[in-house]
């Protein structure tokens, strides 16, 4: 079938529009990478845009030589992995029972869970609660309190509800209980939604710093984003001492850019591996509640 000229023009227009949007999204990252690899003189003169000027890796050398960054990166990676698995576990065991239409109190539990999406106690009551249960300044406070997202749970429930009930009934006829049905029937079919929610949770945990800022005072447990937040706030007023004994005020800008790249690139590497599941996981089953 030959496409009409109008259709071809529309396709080209759409491709051009997408290319512009992609360029707008990539520009900050490209500019940041260029600034992190540029000399202090070029940064002071404002000559850096898409390509490094006076190429050097001094900022990265400073970042990598600081043990705080390496430890914060490893600690954040650990928190992200543990937090993502815990969040997926909590999301699954919360969503799965709600797919049973004959579950007693199903509508009540649905309403109670959705209620928490719109109304919460607030930061101060949350802080007081965590203080009373002795979770402040403990590593667990960065994982457990916010391990379940109601929005993600609804996505999971909708996906599971879209799986034919005949599969579950066949398993139950063969003697499988609810747990076995979940493990051997539902989970193998839920790879798209699990990968999608894993991406949501992992990105949220990797980029999170407000919980550590409010509930954690032990600096050794600061995630990379909070360390970066403190660095950006502090480094603007600091001149970096060079090996020659002088100071390079422009290097602070490249140092900030290098630190941001250091904290951003690892989570970007994960996305390509989950991209093929993303659309399917976020949309399949959305027509059924």
- Do 120 and 179 lie in one domain? The reply is yes
- Do 38 and 134 lie in one domain? The reply is no
- Do 189 and 245 lie in one domain? The reply is yes
The pair of structure tokens assigned to 273 is 């591996």
Give the whole-angstrom CA distance, residue 213 versus residue 207. Answer: 13
CB 126 within 8 A of CB 252: no
- Do 41 and 62 lie in one domain? The reply is no
- Do 245 and 278 lie in one domain? The reply is yes
Per-residue pLDDT reduced to its tens digit, 157-212: 988 888 888 888 888 888 888 899 899 889 998 888 898 899 889 988 998 888 88
pLDDT for the residue numbered 239? 47
Mean confidence (pLDDT) of the chain: 81
Tell me the pTM.
0.79
- Do 144 and 78 lie in one domain? The reply is yes
- Do 162 and 239 lie in one domain? The reply is yes
CB 211 within 8 A of CB 198: no
**Does a structural domain hold residue 204?**
yes
- Do 141 and 270 lie in one domain? The reply is yes
**Helix H or strand E encompassing 150:** helix 150-161
Task: Please report, for the chain, how many H helices and E strands are present, in that order.
Answer: 14, 2
- Tell me the residue range of the domain where 165 lies: 58-283
Q: What's the CATH code of the domain at 274? A: 1.10.3720.10
- Do 132 and 223 lie in one domain? The reply is yes
**Does a structural domain hold residue 288?**
no
């Amino acid at each position: 079938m030959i496409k009409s000229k109008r259709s071809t023009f529309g396709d080209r227009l759409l491709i051009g529009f997408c290319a512009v949007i992609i360029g707008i999204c990539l520009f900050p990252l490209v500019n940041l990478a260029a600034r992190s690899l540029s000399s202090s003189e070029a940064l002071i003169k404002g000559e850096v845009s898409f390509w490094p000027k006076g190429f050097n890796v001094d900022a990265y050398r400073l970042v990598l030589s600081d043990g705080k960054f390496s430890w914060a990166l490893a600690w954040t990676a650990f928190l992200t992995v543990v937090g993502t698995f815990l969040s997926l576990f909590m999301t699954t065991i919360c969503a799965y029972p709600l797919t049973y239409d004959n579950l007693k109190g199903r509508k009540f539990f649905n309403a109670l869970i959705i209620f928490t999406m719109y109304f919460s106690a607030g930061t101060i009551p949350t802080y007081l609660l965590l203080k009373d249960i002795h979770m402040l300044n403990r590593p667990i406070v960065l994982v457990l309190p916010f391990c379940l997202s109601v929005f993600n749970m609804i996505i999971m429930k909708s996906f599971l509800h879209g799986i034919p009930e005949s599969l579950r009934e066949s398993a139950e006829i063969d003697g499988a209980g609810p747990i076995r049905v979940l493990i051997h029937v539902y989970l193998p079919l839920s790879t798209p939604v699990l990968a999608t929610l894993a991406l949501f949770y992992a990105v949220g945990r990797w980029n999170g710093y407000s919980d550590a800022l409010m509930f954690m005072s032990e600096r050794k447990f600061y995630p990379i984003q909070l360390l970066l937040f403190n660095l950006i706030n502090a480094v603007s007023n600091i001149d970096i001492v060079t090996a020659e004994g002088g100071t390079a005020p422009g290097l602070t800008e490249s140092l900030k850019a290098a630190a941001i790249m250091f904290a951003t690139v690892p989570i970007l590497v994960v996305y390509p591996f989950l991209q093929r599941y993303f659309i399917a996981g976020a949309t399949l089953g959305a027509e059924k509640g």
